[in-house]
Structure 1
Amino acid sequence: MPPSKPPPAATPPSARTGWRDPLLHMLIALACAFALSQAFRTLGAMMATPLISAYGLSARQLGLWSSAFHLGFGLLQITMGLSLDLYGVRRTVLCAFPMAVGGAALCAFAPGFGALVLGQALIGIGCAPAFLACTVFIARHFAAERFTAMSGLAMSISGLGILFTGTPLAWLIEAFSWRAGYVALGGVALLAWLAVYWRVREPAPPRPAQDDATGGGARPSLRQALREMLPLLRLPHTRGILCFAAVSYAAFITLRGLWLGPMLHDRHALSLVASGNVALAMTLTGIVGPSLFGRLDPGRARRPRWMAACAGLGAALFAVMALTGHLWIDIVLPVFYGLLSGYNVLQYAYVKSSYPAAVTGRAIALLNTAMFLGVALMQWLTGAVATWAAQQGIEPLRAAFLTVAAMLAAGALAFARMPQARTAPAMPAP
């Protein structure tokens, strides 16, 4: 008798396709938490005007309130990345995300400005693992050839959060109050947490990185992980990357997430819903932008020039908005800047090609930290400058936008002038 054929090997989960794939359901649940993170970081554009009316906030206080989210978010990036390695995606998100729910509740019932700032910081801490969790989950549990498609799906779902903070949030605030906006987002955040609790079951324990700089499967401690960041900082081109990262994404979020609403309302007396419509249009172009620049990526040699040129153009657009103040310019340029901001996606390709594969994850964590701490700095600084300008009889928005333009130009110039890595260099010793 001929030998019996062995049973066919089970299809690995990462190779499954179709909407019945349980891994896909898990990713959608994680992407819902990511969408709430996107909503919380951009609600300031619609919240700013009613908060000024409710609490009599100065522009400096408004910038501090908005930056508190990004400060909490940015400071926790490296810690959350390590937690994903040590404890897995499910545990990390389930432990962190309740802080976002609690922070939203604190903001919704805040008796004063201090509680608002504390609530924003708690929301930022709670949302800190949201983006990393999706990326790590896709990398671990989906086949390599599906990484781009699944990442695109997660990004598309997350875009719904930014869409909500346009016209829908403006309508909710006008119909009820700004507190209702926080209540709604806090309630949806709780549902997202329940979805992660119900659906996400990691198919296998997180595998230790075999190709990291420690050279083995042992998971590093927090102290060791931070220590292993030091060689990255010693590389000459890292400083240019951090200077660029600190201002590029910050400019988009500072406009879309903080000053867009006050600009349209205070300069041009548009209603909150009309301002929300402009924010919605800017969000849509901001969703299209990364895909466009991903397709137009000029490659390693010309990528740095593209990045610097796009940041320089962005600085010019902010200067035009600062110095003109015409209604259609203040509508069209933010929508166009949403598309232009897609150049931020080139940073990740640049980082990937600038460091050895063994430390790419740490380099991206460092990039994310710089990006979100840069948002916190830019939002706080523009608020402080706007308050000073008002005291001097200068239009606050003009001063705020000129500050953004100057920071963007300085970051682009620093990036262009500092050494750049043409190939992935060898790492210096810790």
Structure 2
Amino acid sequence: MASPSLAPTADPSRTQPLWVMLLALLSGFALSQAYRTTTAIVAQGLQVDFGLQASSLGAFAGLFGLSFGVAQLLMGIGLDRYGLRRTVLAAAPLGIAGAALSALAPSYGWLMAGQVLIGVGYSPAFVACTLFIARHFAAERFAFFSGMSMGVGGLGLLFTGTPLAWVVLHWGWRAGFGVLCALSALSWLLIFALVREPAHPDAPPRLAQTWGQALAGVGALLAMPHTWGIVVLGMSCYAAFLSLRGLWLGPLLMDRFGFSLLDSGNVALALSLIALFTPAAFGRMDPGMHRRRAWVGNASLLMAGLFGVMAFLHHGGATVALMILMGLLSGYSILQYSDVRSSYPSELTGRALSLYTMAMFLGVALMQSLTGAVGAWAGARGMEPYRVVLLAIAAWLALASMAFRLLPASPLLKKR
């Protein structure tokens, strides 16, 4: 196993140091981060060009997460059967095609088709990075390197802040998708040129199982009682923050407080800058497997409370400050990945991470779609939609936090 120093070894199966290959893989994850948060910046343009209501906008934002999550399971099996490099290189062109289709979309339906392609194309992006770390870096440093990787991937969030807002302001939302398409093609070339998978004894034998056997293995994970607490909270924490950052941030600040598109982009940029550092910080503060679940449960409950407070805030500066606080807290989600890794034996790590990531993005799709419908329902009844949306997110996250506390933990955490 590679040492934490990241020094290259004499393994002839690769020509690049581990950190170079990881950075190349992270370029794909950064693009994935960018695509999942574009709606907050392009929402106004989409509403003008296609006459979208809040429910349609929520469905558009949620479709990335839905297609990403549904494809996650198959991509996880593909990562085990065909390897990280081949799976990522085969899937990413779908995302590139989806970005091009979105830039050229003549109607809302074509725009939705582009979202499906993007979601499927980038579905293996982060799991490929976490599996690479799990297989080739020291186990006790998993949380730190995963957090650092999450931070590097946050560069994609930076682009969907002020830079994308500036592009959209001057050339329109279609140009934003065009730039993302070009960056995606460059990422594919980097992965093709630089990534070679080192041999590792813990990696599963290629093609050792049929697809049916692999799917049955995922079913076995769901039969384990502790999986459900992980899945329920996994469907809620990231979904809550991404629903704010990726969907409602721009409309809320512009409609409730009169912010300009560029002002909203600056707030999104600030949250993205925070996202570069907080996962690694929480990874460094990882309290260990026996106290980690309590940290995750408490942090998620606190985040639910902050959403509830924001629902009743009617001061622009205080709302922005609260968003910044939520951004600082959001880094705790990296501890959930560490919890997943500690809750299953090593031979199930890849599938467990894929299942958890699938749960995350199905949660994103459900929450963004649901909050879009809730916002439309509230507006039709004369209520302020953002208050109802934020309260719905707070309630969802609070209930998931309680379920995580009450459902059983992994027996492995009790043995170690």
**TM-score (norm: length of structure 2):** 0.90
Q: Contact conserved, 1:247 with 1:407, CA < 8 A, in 2?
A: yes
From the superposition, tell whether residues 133 and 358 of structure 1 become closer, same or farther in structure 2 (CA, over 3 Å). closer
Alignment counterpart, residue 190 of structure 2, candidates 168, 186, 195: 195
Deviation string 1:169-203 (CA, Å, 9 cap, x unpaired) is 11111111011100000111111112222333445
- Give, in angstroms, the shift of residue 396 of structure 1: 1.3
* Counterpart position of 1:244: 233
1:16 aligns with 2:8: yes
Per the TM alignment, residue 346 of structure 1 is displaced from its structure 2 partner at its CA by 1.7
Tell me which residue corresponds to 1:333: 322
Name the residue aligned to 1:28.
23
After superposing the two structures, state which structure 1 stretch, 166-175 or 284-293, moved more.
284-293
Give the C-alpha shift of residue 143 in structure 1: 6.8
The whole-number CA distance in structure 2 between the counterparts of 1:325 and 1:130 is 38
Task: Give distance in 1, aligned partners of 2:402 and 2:286.
Answer: 21
CA distances 1:333-386 after superposition (whole Å, capped 9, x unpaired): 111111111111221222233223332332222111111100000000000000
- Distance in structure 2 (CA, Å) of the matches to 1:110 and 1:81: 30
Structure 2 counterparts to residues 209-228 of structure 1, below 5 A? 209=203, 219-228=208-217
Cα distance change, pair 364–394 in 1 and its aligned pair in 2 (3 A): same
Q: Determine the structure 2 residue equivalent to 1:5.
A: none
| Cα deviation, residue 89, structure 1 | 2.2
Alignment of 1:32-71 (within 5 A): 32-71=27-66
1:236 is displaced (CA, Å) by 2.0
Change (3 A) 1:30 1:355: closer
Give the letter aligned to residue 102 of structure 2: C
2:120 alignment partner in structure 1: 125
Whether 1:183 aligns to 2:178 is yes
The answer to whether the 8 Å contact 2:144/2:284 transfers is no
Matched, 1:89 2:84: yes
Match of 2:251 in 1: 262
> What's the C-alpha RMSD, in Å, of the aligned pairs?
2.5
Within-5 A mapping of 1:131-170: 131-140=126-135, 151=146, 154-170=149-165
Match of 1:174?
169
Pair member with larger Rg: 1
Q: Once the 2 structures are TM-superposed, how far is the Cα of residue 279 of structure 1 from its aligned partner?
A: 0.7
The Cα of 1:422 is off from its aligned counterpart by 5.5
- Which ranges in structure 2 are unaligned for 5 or more consecutive residues? 1-5, 10-14
Contact map agreement 1:174 1:272 (CA 8 A) in 2: yes
Q: Alpha-carbon deviation of 1:286?
A: 2.5
Matches of 1:346 and 1:137, distance apart in 2: 18
Residues 11-37 of structure 1: CA deviation (Å, up to 9, x unaligned)? xxx7428xx945443332222111111
Hey, what's the Cα distance between the residues in 1 that align with 2:282 and 2:150?
A: 15
CA deviation vs aligned residue, 1:246-298 (integer Å, no higher than 9, x gap):
10110111111110011111111111111111111112222322222223333
Q: Does residue 384 in structure 1 map to residue 373 in structure 2?
A: yes
Whichever residue aligns with residue 259 of structure 1, its letter is: W
Residue identity opposite 2:53 in structure 1: S
Which of 62, 66, 74 in structure 1 is aligned with 2:69?
74
The answer to whether the Cα contact below 8 Å between 1:69 and 1:124 also exists between their aligned partners in 2 is yes
Q: Distance in 2 between matches of 1:142 and 1:359?
A: 17
Deviation (angstroms), 1:149? 6.9
Could you list the per-position Cα deviations for residues 373-414 of structure 1 after superposition, in whole angstroms to 9, with x for gaps in the alignment?
Answer: 000000000000001111001111111111111110110111
Instruction: Give the match's secondary structure for 1:302.
Output: helix
Shifted more, 49-58 versus 348-357: the winner is: 348-357
- Rounded to whole Å, the distance in 2 between the matches of 1:84 and 1:361 is 8
| Contact residue 354 and residue 425 of structure 1 kept, 8 A | no
Is 1:361 matched with 2:350?
Answer: yes
Partners of 2:141 and 2:290 lie apart in 1 by 27
SS of equivalent to 2:35: helix
Cα distance, 1:226 vs. partner? 1.3
Residue 389 of structure 2 is matched in structure 1 by: 400
Cα 1:27–1:301 change in 2 (3 A) is closer
Which of 297, 314, 323 is 2:303 aligned to?
314
Partner of residue 12, structure 2: none
Conservation of the 8 A alpha-carbon contact between 1:15 and 1:143 = no
Q: Is the 8 A contact 1:33 1:189 kept in 2?
A: yes
1:217 to partner: Cα distance: 7.6
Extract unaligned runs of 5+ from structure 1.
1-13, 211-215
Give 2:332's aligned residue. 343
CA distance in 2, matches of 1:203, 1:291: 25
The count of aligned residue pairs is 407
Q: 1:194 to 1:298 in 2, by over 3 A?
A: closer
Structure-2 separation of matches of 1:425 and 1:88: 32
Q: Which moved further from structure 2: 129-138 or 388-397? A: 129-138
Question: In structure 2, the residue corresponding to 1:270 is in which secondary structure?
Answer: coil
TM-score (norm 1): 0.88
Q: CA deviation at 1:313?
A: 1.2
Alpha-carbon distance in 2 for matches of 1:144, 1:323:
43
Alpha-carbon distance change, 278 to 118 in structure 1, aligned in 2, over 3 angstroms? same
Asked whether the equivalents of residues 356 and 424 of structure 1 are also in contact (C-alpha less than 8 Å), the reply is: no
